[in-house]
Amino acid sequence: MDIIRVENVSKGYPGHPVLQNLSLTLKKGECFTLLGPSGCGKTVLLRLLAGFESADAGKIYIGDTLVNDPEARIAVPPENRGLGVVFQDYAVWPHMTVFENVAYPLKIADRPKDEIKERVMRMIDIVGMNGLDKRLPSELSGGQQQRVALARALVADPALLLLDEPLSNLDANLREEMRFEIKELQKKLGVTVLYVTHDQEIGLAISDRVAIMNAEGAIQQIGTPWEIFEQPVNPFVFNFMGIANFIDVRREENSFLVGKGSQAIPWESPAGDATEWVAAFRPSDVRIARSGDGLHGVIRRANFLGAMMDYLIEIDGAHLRTSIETHHAIAQDLMFKAGDECSLSFLSLHWFEKESLKGVLEE
């Protein structure tokens, strides 16, 4: 069953279109991530769902209710949509204690006092804030404030939880810890989660499904994290999901030659008639050796990064980057210096027509 249906929604500001004709559905109970570069309109979409803004065109359904349809002049205000929202800046009310913050949605709903107390204390327990219920937000750390915001968004048992970059103000360790807690909470409470972020790692780690948006606010691909990572539909998605190498490959009769030279690429040929191709692969998909089968290249730059060695390699005018664990490199005699020769092969490789890359690599 679909819990959110967005149909052909457009939204823009004077002289600046943000979303155009966008459609999307969320299934009940899933954790869905909207992933895109900053400024792509993903937050605008979340605000449309929450009801803070109204679409210029299109329809939005939450459950079976039509909540926004500018043509029919329908715009259900946020307080009547029954959602939980967690903001990037926590938005924990500084003049209320932790208990009062979490209790607010129930108080507004006029629940009896005992019930409020019981549900709030249970929620505070679930987010791991036991014993801190009488604190003011100014006495809490950023991570604790974010937990309060989560508890407040979840206390009224919303069917849908909207999260807008909730972890981007936390430091790296805390961010990692919190993302698993959010996933745990989602499983425990069975709530549907829409998570908006530009951080692909979080997107991959916690989602059932991911949607990738490009800078123009158009959805490029929707799928499971694995599909997005392993079967990107276009260079944008591939590039967005981590550091990527793109090397030029040209077709001469039936052989595919790298850069300006005459070495054939050791991979199956692409299907298609184009003559200009690009081979795309992640640094981790490169196998490097002193010699042997594969492409011959020259190390142009060797960087020692502690646990990893990072190499910039040139193959007949085409450049690529790869990295290899330092202890592995030492064991296998793969500690290269600039100017050393090497031999390369691939574990995985994607073909894109060169035409389709326009506008992707400039970023």
Partner 1 sequence: MNTKSSFGVAQIILFLSIAILVVVVAFPVLLILFNAFWVEDHFNFSGAIEILKEPETFKALINSLIIAGMSTIGSTIVGTFFAWLVTRTDMPHKRFMKSMFLVPFMLPSFIGAMAWKMLLSPNAGFINRFFMDNLGFDGPIFNLYSYYGISAVEVMYLFPFVFIQVCGALERMDPTLEESARISGAGLFTITRKITIPLVLPSILSGALLIMLYSMAHFGTVAVLGIENGIYNIPVLIYERIHQSGGSFESIRTGTVLATVLVISAACIIWAQRKILGSGHYQIIGGKSFRPMELKLRGLKYPLMFFCFAYIAFTIVLPTVVIFLVGGLSTYGLSFTPENLSLDNFKFILFEYDVTRDAIFNSVTLGLTAAIITMFAGVMISYVIVKMDVKGKGILEFLGMLPFSVPGSVIALGVILAWSGQFGINLYNTVWIILVAYIARYMAFSLKANSAALEQVHDSLVEASRACGATMWQSLKDIVLPLVKPGMFAAFFLIFLPSLRELTVSIMLYAPTTRTIGVAIYTLNEDGETVISCALAAIALIIIIVGQTVINHFTKKESE
Residues in contact with partner 1 by CB under 8 A are: 50-54, 73, 75-85, 87-89, 91-95, 104-105, 108-109, 149, 152-153, 156, 162
In the complex, minimum distance from the CB of residue 38 to partner 1, in angstroms, rounded to a whole number: 17
Q: Quick one: 189 or 218, whose CB is closer to partner 1?
A: 189
Q: Are 146 and 170 in contact (CB under 8 A)?
A: yes
Between the CA of residue 157 and those of 161, 190, 196, what are the distances in Å? 9, 10, 20
In the complex, minimum distance from the CB of residue 156 to partner 1, in angstroms, rounded to a whole number: 7
In the complex, minimum distance from the CB of residue 202 to partner 1, in angstroms, rounded to a whole number: 20
In the complex, minimum distance from the CB of residue 295 to partner 1, in angstroms, rounded to a whole number: 52
Q: Quick one: 51 or 225, whose CB is closer to partner 1?
A: 51
In the complex, minimum distance from the CB of residue 147 to partner 1, in angstroms, rounded to a whole number: 15
Q: Quick one: 81 or 350, whose CB is closer to partner 1?
A: 81
Q: For the CA atoms of 174, 175, 176, 180, what is the dihedral angle to 10 degrees?
A: 100
Q: Quick one: 6 or 149, whose CB is closer to partner 1?
A: 149
Beta bridge partners of 345: 287
Between the CA of residue 56 and those of 71, 73, 213, 242, 326, what are the distances in Å? 9, 11, 19, 34, 54
Residue 132 burial (10 A CB sphere; 0-12, 13-18, 19+): middle
CA distance 120 to 136: 16
Q: Quick one: 159 or 264, whose CB is closer to partner 1?
A: 159
Q: Quick one: 134 or 300, whose CB is closer to partner 1?
A: 134
Between the CA of residue 53 and those of 77, 166, 219, 244, what are the distances in Å? 9, 20, 20, 36
Q: Quick one: 78 or 223, whose CB is closer to partner 1?
A: 78
In the complex, minimum distance from the CB of residue 236 to partner 1, in angstroms, rounded to a whole number: 30
Beta strands in 262-360 (DSSP E): 276-281, 286-289, 295-304, 308-315, 318-325, 341-346, 350-353
In the complex, minimum distance from the CB of residue 76 to partner 1, in angstroms, rounded to a whole number: 8
